[in-house]
Chain A
C-alpha cells in the first residue's frame, strides 16, 4: 500500500514537472493509453527539478546534440537532444559519459609554468595575467624576428576560424591541423572526384550497403546518426550489409557478410567489381555519359585490367565472391558504398577511396534515394569583420612534395622541424597530443623536449597528457560543456546548425580557448600598432559565435541565436521531411539569373572565372563541385603530378615484398573511446582499458603463442611488448591493436592517492591499462593525399624474448628517419611554384577558414545546393 501511494505521489509531482519542464523537448513514445513515456527527460534521485540546457557533444567529433541536466549548478546527467536531426535524442557510450570530463580531478584548473626540465613534471601555478604576459612577450619577440616562426598545431579545434584569425593577424601561415593522421586521403580523393570531402549516404532507404573498412557500428563518421539510419535500412528496408575488413568489428558482426581481406587491397576489389558490373552490362552508362568526364567505353576498357582473378591474387577475396557481390550491388535497387577509415589510411588511400566511389558511379547510385549522396549541411559565417589578410603558407603546412595534399601533412612536421626545414620560435599546441596520436611519437618527443628546435612552447589543454607535459606553459582550456562554439556536420540528409554553449560556468580558473586567444591578442598588441588588436575588438566569445551562427540562411528569421540557446539546434528533426528528402542536386537546372553571363568551355559553364554549371543533353544543370562540374573519373590534376588520373590500384611495394612470416599491423578505435581523450572517463575505461593485440588462431599457433601470452611486435622502427588476444576474428596476416590505451599520464582510477572514493580505491577491478602502439609505427604517406598510412606497417610477431617486460616500447631514431625519407621518396618530383594556388580544392580550404567558417570545407560548395526546404522563407 505504502509503495503504491508513494509511487502515486511521485507520479503526480514528477509527471507534472516532466510535462512543464520537458515539454520543449518532445518526442513521445506510445507506452500506453494511460501514460506516454517520453524518450528523454530529467528524473533526479533527489527529486529536485533540473535545468535542461542543450549543448553539442564533443566527447568525439561527431557533434551530436545533447541536453544537460543541471542540478544546483552541477551537471548531473547528459542525454540526447530529441530535436536534433543527426542523433535524434540518442547518445553513444562516450556521449553518456561526457560530463565526467568536467569533474575529473586531474583537470588543470590554473595556468602552469614549468620549473624543471621539460617533461620533468615540475610545475608551479601562475596567474592568467602572468601567463598571458609571458606568452605575449614571447610571441612579440618571435614576430619581430619572423612572424612565420610562430607556429600553431591543433587537433580537435572547433572554433571554426578563430585560430586562423589569430595566426593570420600575427602574419603567420605556420598553422597545422591533424587531418593527415585522420581522413585526408579520403577527403582529397573525394574533392577531386565531386567537390565536397565527404558523403551522406541515404542508408535508411537503401537496399545494399557495401562497406569497405568502416566500423560504423562503433566509430567512423558519423557513428551515432549513420548507424541509426543503417539499422533502419537493414531492418525496415531489408537492406543487405556487406563488410570488407581484415578484422571482425562490430560492424562486421551485424553484417550479412563479413569478408576479410588483406589490408590496402580494398581498391582492387572495388575496381574488379566495377569491371564486372560494366562487363555484365549492369552499369548505368547514362550516368557515366551525362555526369562524368569519361565515356562508358573508356571506363570499360580501362577497368578491364582489374579482373576478379587479379583482385583475388592481391586481396585474398575469391573471384567468385567478387563477381557475386558486384552483381548483387548492381542489381539491388538503390545501393551505396561506405568507407572510412580502414580503406583510406594507406599509402594508396586516395586511389582506394576513388575506387570505392566508382562503384556508385558505375551503378548510377550517386545522389538518389537510397544512394551515395552529397553531404548536406548548413554553413555558418566566419565571424565579425574585419578579417586579417592571409599570410603566405608555411612549408610545414604545405610541403611542396605534396602539392595535392590540401589538408596538410601534419605527421611530417616532427621530422621537418627536426631537420630544420623551418625555424620555429614559439610553438602552440591546442587540443592535440601528437606524441600519442601521431606515428613515430619519439620524433615528436625529440622536438618537444628540444629548446633548440622549439625554444618556447605553450599547450592549451584540459588535462596533462603525453605531449602537454613537455610544454613550458600550460593554459587550461574548458571542456565542451563550458564554452561557446558553432557547429554543423553533414550527419543527416537534413542539414542543421547547432550550438555549443556553457551549461555551467567554467570550473576553477579554466578559460575557454576563445577567451584566451582574445586576451592574448590584447596583450600582444595593446596599442594596436602591430595590427593584431583590430581583429580582436569584437567583444565576447558569445557575440562572436552569435555572429557566426546568425549568418546561417534562415536562422535569424526562425528565431536566431536565442532559439539556438533554447533548443540547441536548428532546424528540428522532422522524420517526414527526412523520409521524403529529394536528392539529385547535381541535376538541378540553373535558373535564368544563374545562366546570365556564362560562357561555355566544353560542357562546363563558366562565370567570373569560376565554373558554375554543366551542359547535359542541352540542359544547364549544376553538376558537381569540381572545376569541370563533372564527376571527375579522370583527374587531370593527378596526371599533372605524375599520378594515375584514372581509377587505379597501386599495390604497396612493402606488402609485395613481405616474407612469409611477416604480418601487417593495424590499429583501431574501440566503440567506447576516442583516439586519446577518454581513458579518464571511468565508465568507458571500465569497458575498455587494456588493448591486447588481436592475432589469428592459426597465426598464433604457428608461433607458439597462446591467448594472453606476452608477445613482441617488431616494426621497421622499433618493437613493443604486449599481450596476445588469439581470435578467429582477424585475417591471418594481420595484427590489430586498439588505441586509447597505454597513456603515460595517469587517470585517477586505481592509482590516485588523494581519494577514498570507493570507485577509485576499491571498485576499480583492473590494473592493466594496455600498451600503445603508435611509437613503433613509422611515418608512411600517400603521395597524393598526404595522409598517413596507418595500416601498412610490416611487422614480425614472436613470443616475448627473455627479459621482455609488458609495456616495453623502443624505437630507433635512425630507422624512424629512414622511414620518413622513404615516404618522401615516393612523393611527386613535379614542382609548381604556387602549387597550392593552382587547384580550386586547396584554395577552398583556406577560404573556409578565413571567410566562410566551418563545415569541413564543403560550405562553399554547399552554397550551390540550397537547403531544399528553403530556410530563407
Chain B
C-alpha cells in the first residue's frame, strides 16, 4: 500500500539569487495585501569592505508537523488550525480571527503568520494549497528563477524533493523549537557560518530587510 502523501519543500540557498520573483508571485497568486507577506527573502550581509559577503534566505511557512501556531490556540478553538493529511497546515477563517488569531500568530517561532489588516483573520503561507490540490506546484516554486525551490511528496522516493534531499545535506530553521518543520534548507550552514555576531542588521529600506534572527542548525 502506497505511503500517504507528505508535502515538503527544499530551498537550496546556493541557488537563491534574491530576485524576489517568489515574493511577487505569492502576492499575485494569493491576493496578499500590502504590508504583510507569506513569503520573505531575507538579505543578510556580513564583513568589512572589500571582504563583504551577502546572502539570501527565503522563508515561508514550514508546515510544521507540530505546528506551534496550532498549539498556541486558546482552548475550544483547536480546530481553527488543522494539519491536513498531506502535511499542509490550513486554517478556518471563520474561527481563526481576532484574539484567537493573535494567539496563533504570536505562537509561531518563525513569524510567518500575519493578521490580515482588514479582515482581522489569521493568514499564512499554505504551500499554495489551492494550486497543489489542482495538480500544480506552489507559485513560488513555479517561478523560482534560480531553481532554488524543490517541492513535492517527500514520502515518494521517485519525487524530485526526495531525490534532492537524498543527494544534499539539509537543515531546518530553529530545530530547537521542536516544531518539526517541513521546509528544508540546503546550505543553511552558510548562514550560520556567516554568523550573527559578524553580520549586520540591514537598515530597513524596504520590507525584505528584516532583523537577523538567531538561526541555528
How many angstroms between the C-alpha atoms of A10 and B49 in the bound complex? 54
The answer to whether B133 and A10 have CB atoms under 8 Å apart is yes
Q: Is the CB of A45 within 8 A of B14?
A: no
Bound CA span A36–B158, Å: 11
A19 at the interface (CB under 8 A from B): yes
Question: What residues of A have a CB within 8 angstroms of the CB of B126 in the complex?
Answer: none
| Chain A residues whose CB sits within 8 angstroms of the CB of B146 once the complex forms | 227-228, 231
Q: Of B117, B137, B147, B153, which is within 8 A of A763 by CB? A: B117
Separation of A227 and B132 alpha carbons in the complex (Å) = 27
**Contact present for B19 and A671 (CB under 8 Å):** yes
B170 within 8 Å of A (CB atoms): no
The secondary-structure label for the interface of chain B is: loop
B1-35 interface code vs A (CB 8 A; 1 in, 0 out): 01001000000101101111101110111010111
Residues of A contacting B49 in the complex (Cβ-Cβ under 8 angstroms) = 260, 696-698, 728-732
User: Which A residues between 758 and 789 are near B, CB-CB below 8 angstroms?
Assistant: 758-759, 762-765
Within 1-21 of A, Cβ neighbours of B (below 8 Å) are at: 3-4, 7, 10-11, 14-15, 17-19
Stretch in B64-72, B177-185, B199-207 touching the partner? B199-207
Q: Which single residue of chain A is at the shortest CB-CB distance from B46?
A: A728
Report if B216 contacts A (CB, 8 A): no
Verify B156–A692 contact, CB threshold 8 A.
Answer: no
Number of interface residues of A (CB under 8 A): 88
Look across to chain A and name the residue whose beta carbon is closest to the beta carbon of B154. Answer: A32
Given A32-B155, A96-B24, residue A80 in contact with residue B17 (CB < 8 A)? no
Taking a contact as CB atoms under 8 Å apart, the answer to whether B24 and A683 are in contact is yes
Q: Knowing A91-B21, A258-B52 are in contact, say whether A19-B28 is a contact too (CB < 8 A).
A: no
Which residue from chain B places its CB closest to the CB of A35 in the assembled complex? B135
The distance from the CB of A547 to the nearest CB of chain B, in whole angstroms, is: 34
Chain B contact residue count (CB 8 A cutoff): 67
Residue B99 is within 8 A (CB to CB) of chain A in the complex:
no
Name the one of A14, A39, A235, A732 contacting B14, with C-beta atoms under 8 angstroms.
A235
Chain B residues with CB below 8 A from A698, complex form: 49
Q: Is the CB of B48 within 8 A of A728?
A: yes
Chain A residues lying within 8 Å of B161, measured Cβ to Cβ, are: 31
Contact A728 B21 (CB under 8 A): no
A278 within 8 A of B: no
The answer to whether the Cβ of A34 comes within 8 Å of any Cβ in the partner chain is: yes
CB distance from B134 to the nearest CB of A (A): 4
Q: Name B21's contact: one of A18, A90, A697, A727 (CB within 8 Å).
A: A90
Partner among B2, B19, B56, B136 whose Cβ is within 8 Å of the Cβ of A40: B136
Question: With the chains together, A14 CA to B128 CA distance in Å?
Answer: 14
Contact at B152–A29, with CB atoms within 8 Å?
yes
Q: Which residues of B contact A38 (CB under 8 A)?
A: 135-137
| B56 proximity list for chain A (CB < 8 A) | 250, 253
Bound-state Cα–Cα, A696 to B50, Å = 10
| Residues B135 and A14 in contact, CB atoms below 8 Å apart | yes
Chain B residues 104 to 151 lying within 8 A of chain A, measured CB to CB, are 117-118, 128, 130-137, 141-147, 151
- Taking a contact as CB atoms under 8 Å apart, the answer to whether A683 and B18 are in contact is no
B34 near A765: Cβ-Cβ < 8 Å: yes
> How far is A38 from B134 in the complex, measured between Cα atoms in Å?
9
Alpha-carbon distance A202/B47, docked complex (angstroms): 32
Q: Measured between alpha carbons, how far is A402 from B4 in the docked complex, in Å?
A: 70
Nearest-CB distance from A443 to chain B (Å)?
Answer: 31
Which residues on the B side are within 8 Å of A217 (C-beta)?
Answer: 17-19
Contact of A725 with B by CB under 8 A: yes
In whole angstroms, how far apart are the Cα atoms of A784 and B158 in the complex?
57
- When the two chains form their complex, are residues A36 and B117 in contact, meaning their CB atoms are under 8 A apart? no
A30 interfacial by beta-carbon distance below 8 Å:
yes
**A519–B45 alpha-carbon span in the complex (Å):** 55
Give chain A nearest CB distance to B129 CB in angstroms.
8
> Assuming the A-B contacts A253-B56, A763-B33, are A687 and B24 also in contact, with contact meaning beta carbons closer than 8 angstroms in the complex?
yes
Q: Is A37 in the interface zone, CB < 8 Å from B?
A: yes
Query: With contacts A683-B27, A692-B205 known, is A232 near B147, CB below 8 A?
Result: yes
B34 and A31 contact, CB distance less than 8 A: no
A672: Cβ under 8 A from any B Cβ: yes
When C-beta atoms are compared, the residue in chain A nearest to B50 turns out to be: A260
A759 and B19 within 8 A (CB): no
Inter-subunit contact A729/B135 (CB<8 Å): no
Instruction: Tell me the nearest residue of chain B to A31, going by C-beta.
Output: B152
Q: Tell whether, in the assembled complex, residue A231 and residue B17 are in contact, meaning their CB atoms are under 8 Å apart.
A: yes
Check if A32 sits within 8 Å of B28, measured CB to CB. Answer: no
Does A224 belong to the interface (CB within 8 Å)?
yes
Residues from chain B with Cβ under 8 Å of A258 in the complex: 50, 52-53
Q: Does A689 contact B (CB under 8 A)?
A: yes
Cβ-defined contact, B142 with A80, below 8 A: yes
Residues of B within 8 A of A224 (CB): 145
- Chain A residues, Cβ within 8 Å of B192: none
Q: A29-B160, A89-B142, A92-B19 are in contact. Are A725 and B85 (CB under 8 A)?
A: no
A43 within 8 A of B: yes
- CB-based contact B152/A253 at 8 Å: no
- CB neighbours (8 Å) of B85 from chain A are 4
B82 at the binding interface (Cβ < 8 Å): yes
> Is B55 an interface residue, CB under 8 A from the partner?
yes
Contact call A728/B200, Cβ cutoff below 8 A: yes
Across the interface, name the chain A residue whose C-beta is closest to B163. A30
Check if B61 is an interface residue, CB within 8 A of chain A: no
B20 — which chain A residues lie within 8 A by C-beta? 93, 671-672, 687
B200-A97 in contact (CB<8A): no
Counting CB contacts under 8 A, is A248 at the interface? yes
Do the beta carbons of B145 and A248 come within 8 Å of each other? no
With an 8 A cutoff between CB atoms, is A707 at the interface?
A: yes
Q: Which residue of A lies closest to B152 (CB)?
A: A31
Does A259 reach chain B (CB closer than 8 Å)? yes
Residues of A within 8 A of B158 (CB): 30, 32-33
Nearest residue (CB) in A for B203 is A707
- Indicate whether A574 reaches chain B with its CB closer than 8 angstroms: no
In the bound complex, residues from chain B placing their C-beta under 8 Å from that of A253 are 18, 53-56
* Smallest CB separation, B124 vs chain A (Å): 16
Please report the C-alpha to C-alpha distance between residue A21 and residue B131 in the assembled complex, in whole angstroms: 15
The winner among B23, B47, B90, B155 for most chain A CB atoms within 10 A is B23
B19 adjacent to A37 (CB under 8 Å):
no
A766 to chain B, nearest CB (A): 8
Whether B34 and A759, one on each chain, are in contact in the complex, defined by CB atoms closer than 8 angstroms, is: yes
Residues on the A chain within 8 Å of B135, using CB: 11, 14-15, 18-19, 35-38, 41
5 closest A-B pairs (Cβ-Cβ)?
A32-B153, A31-B152, A14-B134, A253-B54, A763-B34
Given contact pairs A682-B34, A686-B35, A763-B34, enumerate 5 new A-B contacts (beta carbons under 8 Å): A29-B151, A31-B161, A34-B153, A97-B28, A728-B200
* Residues on B facing A (Cβ under 8 Å): 2, 5, 12, 14-15, 17-21, 23-25, 27-29, 31, 33-35, 45, 47-50, 52-56, 82, 84-85, 90, 117-118, 128, 130-137, 141-147, 151-153, 155-156, 158-161, 200, 203, 205-208
11 A-B residue pairs with CB within 8 Å: A35-B153, A41-B135, A43-B130, A228-B145, A258-B50, A260-B49, A671-B20, A683-B28, A687-B206, A725-B205, A763-B33
Residues of chain A having any CB pair with chain B under 8 Å: 3-4, 7, 10-11, 14-15, 17-19, 29-43, 45, 77-80, 89-97, 217-218, 223-224, 227-228, 231-232, 234-235, 248, 250-254, 258-260, 671-672, 682-684, 686-690, 692, 696-698, 707-708, 725-732, 758-759, 762-765
